Amino acid sequence: DIQMTQSPSTLSASVGDRVTITCRASQSIVGWLAWYQQKPGKAPNLLISKASNLESGVPSRFSGSGSGTEFTLTISGLQPDDFATYYCQQYNSSPLTFGGGTKVEIK
């Protein structure tokens, strides 16, 4: 199974900050990586597919990059609505696996 490791697990930031979350895969997943945002009591919401493709309706302050085994999600100019937990997920091969999550908290 491909292990997905996210860091940090928790991130404290202020409105307007630029934040970066890292996701590492235990083996190459090429670019088959997705990022999700999840708020308490809700299902995850797809933000980015194929490492860097922003989903329709997702604000442009979100961006993704990377390939192979190392990926990043960047939020440029954190907004109050962005305080949530973020997960990466590889869909290169079965079983599909998720990272452990990064909780973005208000500083």
Nearest approach, Cβ of residue 16 and another protein (Å): 28
Please give the structure tokens belonging to residue 27. 């083996």
Judged by CB under 8 A, the chain residues 48 through 107 that form the site for another protein are 49-50, 55, 87, 89, 91, 94-101
Residue from 11, 21, 34, 84 binding another protein (CB under 8 A):
34
Q: If binding is defined by CB under 8 A, does position 31 make contact with another protein? A: no
Q: What residues make contact with another protein under the rule CB under 8 A?
A: 34, 36, 42-46, 49-50, 55, 87, 89, 91, 94-101
